[in-house]
Amino acid sequence: MTIDGFVALYIFMLAAFAGWVIIGRVPAILHTPLMSGSNFVHGIVVIGGLYALLNASTGLEQGIGFVAVLLGAGNAAGGYAVTDRMLAMFQSSSHQPVHATHKSGAHRRKPTSPKKG
C-alpha cells in the first residue's frame, strides 16, 4: 500500500478531527488519565521502531533502531500502566460501601456511626 501526499492529508485531517471530537467529550475530572492515555496511544510509535530495526543492515542502524524500540516500548507500556492504575481509582458512591468496609474495618468508625442528628 502506498500512501501519497493527498491521501496522507486526508488521513491526517480525519484523524485530527476525530481526536478533537473524541477528546472534547472527555469530562475535566478525567483530564489527567486522558493525558496519560493519549500519551499511551502515541506509544504506537514502537511498531515503527520495530519496522525500522528489523530492516536495519548496519551497526549504526541497529543501534538507533534498538533505541527507537526501547523508547517506544517504554512510552506504550508506561502510558498504559499509569492510565490503567488511575482509572481504577475512580469509584462512585454506590460502590463505596463495599469499598469502605473492605478497607477501613469497623473498629475505628464505630463511635460516631450510631450517632445521627
Partner 1 sequence: MLTMLPPLLIDIVGIVAAFLLMFGLWRMSSPVTAPAGIKVAGIGMVAAVAASFLYVFNISPAAHPHLPVNLALAGIALAVGGGLAWWGGRKVAMTAMPQMVALYNGMGGGAAGAIAAMELFGNHARGVTQLGVTLLGAIIGAVSLSGSLIAWAKLQGVLNKPLRIKGQQVINGLVMLATLAVGFYILFIVQSGTVPVLSLQALICLFFGCAMLFGILMTLPIGGADMPVVISIYNAFTGLAVGLEGFVLQTPALMIAGMLVGAAGILLTLLMAKAMNRSVSNVLFTNFGDVVKQKQGAIKGSLKPTAAGDAGIAMRYASSVIIVPGYGLAAAQGQQKLYEFVKLLIAAGVKVRFAVHPVAGRMPGQMDVLLAEAGVPYDLIFQLEDINDDFATTDIVLVIGANDVVNPSARSDKSSPIFGMPILNADKAKQVYVVKRGEGKGYAGIVNPLFYADNCNMVYRDAQAVMAEMIEAVRGLGLSAAA
Looking only at residues 60 through 99 of this chain, which bind partner 1 when binding is defined by CB under 8 A? 60-62, 64-93, 95-96, 99
Minimal distance, residue 105 CB to partner 1, in Å? 13
Q: How far apart are CA 68 and CA 46, in angstroms?
A: 7
What type of residue is 17? F
69: nearest Cα among 80, 53, 85: 53
When asked if residue 107 is in the footprint of partner 1 (CB under 8 A), the reply is no
**What's the rounded Cα separation, in Å, for the pair 65 and 53?**
4
Told to check if 29 binds partner 1 by CB under 8 A, we report yes
Residues whose CB falls within 8 Å of the CB of residue 70, separated by 6 or more in sequence, listed in order: none
Task: State the nearest-atom distance from the C-beta of 106 to partner 1, in Å.
Answer: 13
Choose, by CB under 8 A, the member of 12, 98, 101, 105 that binds partner 1. Answer: 12
The interface with partner 1 within residues 31-60 (CB under 8 A) comprises 31-58, 60
- Could you tell me the smallest distance in angstroms from the CB atom of residue 29 to partner 1? 4
Angstrom distance (rounded) from CA 106 to CA 108: 6
CB of residue 107 vs partner 1: minimum separation in angstroms? 13
